[in-house]
C-alpha cells in the first residue's frame, strides 16, 4: 500500500454546469510517492499502482441523441460487460482444474466462486428491503421483484445504481492492490448502505487503499473517524 502521495492538482471548473462538470477531468501532476518507506520513481508509478475512480453523480449523458441516458447507466453498461467476462474467467478456471485432473468437489468450486458469491450476498442483503433480488443465474444485471417480474438495472433508483457500480467495480479488482477514489459516494444512497459501505468494500477487496470525499458522517462512523482529514487543512492556495 502507498503511505504517501503528493499531487499538484488543477481544475478549471468555473462556469461549468453539472452535466458538463461530470465530463471534466482533474489535471494532477504527481510530485512525490512513497511505499513501505521507500520512494517510488514517478515514471514507474503507472506500472506499479492500479487506480479506480468512481463518481456516481446522476447527470444526463452528453450526446446528440434525443433520449439521453444517465452516466450511471453508461457506467453500468461497461460494468455489465466486464462482469460477464469475469464470470467467463471463473468458468474457465473451473474447467482448467477439471482438465488438469484435479479432483473436483464442492470446496474447489466454492473457492473459485468465493468473491462472486460474497458480492451477490452483499447486494442481496442491501436490496432485500426494496423487494428486489439480483438474478444470480445470469451474467446480466437483472433483478427479480417480489411479484416475479424481472427488471434490468436501468429500472433501479439512482442510489441502487450507485451501490451496484461501487460493489461491481471493487469485485472486478479481483483482490488486487488498487487505489480506489470515491467522490461523495453517499449521494442518493440509503443511510444503512452508507454506514456499511467501507466495510463492504474492504470485504470484497481487502487489498484496496480507499480514499474518499464525503459530507456524510455515516460513512465514517464505524471506527473510521481517526482516518478523516478536513480538506481545509490540506488545501494549498497559490497566489
Q: Report the alpha-carbon distance of residue 2 to residue 172 in Å, rounded.
A: 21
Which range has the worst mean pLDDT, 35-39, 47-51, 85-89, 228-232?
35-39
Query: pLDDT band for position 24 (50/70/90)?
Result: very low
Domain boundaries, the chain: 1-48, 49-233
Q: Report the alpha-carbon distance of residue 164 to residue 126 in Å, rounded.
A: 10
Looking at the whole model, is its pTM more than 0.85? no
The pLDDT value recorded for residue 124 is 96
Grid cell at residue 91: 468458468
Tens digit of each residue's pLDDT (9 = 90 or more) over 158-179: 999 999 999 999 999 999 999 8
Question: 220 or 147, which is more confident?
Answer: 147
What mean pLDDT do residues 56-72 have? 64
Query: pLDDT band for position 60 (50/70/90)?
Result: low
H helix or E strand, kind and range, residue 205: none
High-pLDDT (> 90) share of the chain, %: 42
Amino acid at each position: 500500500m502507498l503511505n504517501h502521495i503528493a499531487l499538484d492538482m488543477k481544475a478549471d471548473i468555473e462556469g461549468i454546469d453539472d452535466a458538463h462538470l461530470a465530463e471534466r477531468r482533474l489535471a494532477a501532476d504527481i510530485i512525490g510517492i512513497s511505499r513501505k518507506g521507500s520512494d517510488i520513481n514517478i515514471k514507474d508509478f503507472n506500472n506499479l499502482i492500479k487506480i479506480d475512480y468512481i463518481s456516481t453523480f446522476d447527470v444526463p449523458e452528453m450526446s446528440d441523441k434525443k433520449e439521453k441516458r444517465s452516466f450511471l447507466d453508461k457506467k453500468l453498461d461497461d460494468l455489465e460487460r466486464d462482469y460477464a467476462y469475469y464470470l467467463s474467467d471463473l468458468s474457465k478456471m473451473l474447467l482448467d482444474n477439471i482438465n488438469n485432473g484435479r479432483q473436483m468437489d464442492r470446496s474447489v468450486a466454492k473457492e473459485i466462486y468465493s468473491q462472486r458469491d460474497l458480492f451477490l450476498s452483499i447486494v442481496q442483503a442491501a436490496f432485500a428491503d426494496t423487494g428486489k433480488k439480483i438474478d444470480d443465474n445470469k451474467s446480466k444485471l437483472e433483478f427479480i421483484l417480489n411479484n416475479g417480474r424481472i427488471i434490468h438495472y436501468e429500472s433501479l433508483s439512482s442510489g441502487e445504481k450507485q451501490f451496484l457500480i461501487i460493489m461491481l467495480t471493487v469485485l472486478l479488482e479481483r483482490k488486487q492492490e488498487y487505489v480506489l477514489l470515491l467522490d461523495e459516494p453517499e449521494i442518493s444512497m440509503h443511510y444503512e448502505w452508507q454506514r456499511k459501505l467501507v466495510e463492504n468494500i474492504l470485504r470484497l477487496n481487502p487489498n484496496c487503499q480507499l480514499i474518499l470525499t464525503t459530507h456524510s458522517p455515516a460513512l465514517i462512523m464505524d471506527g473510521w473517524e481517526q482516518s478523516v482529514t478536513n480538506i481545509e487543512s490540506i488545501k494549498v492556495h497559490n497566489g
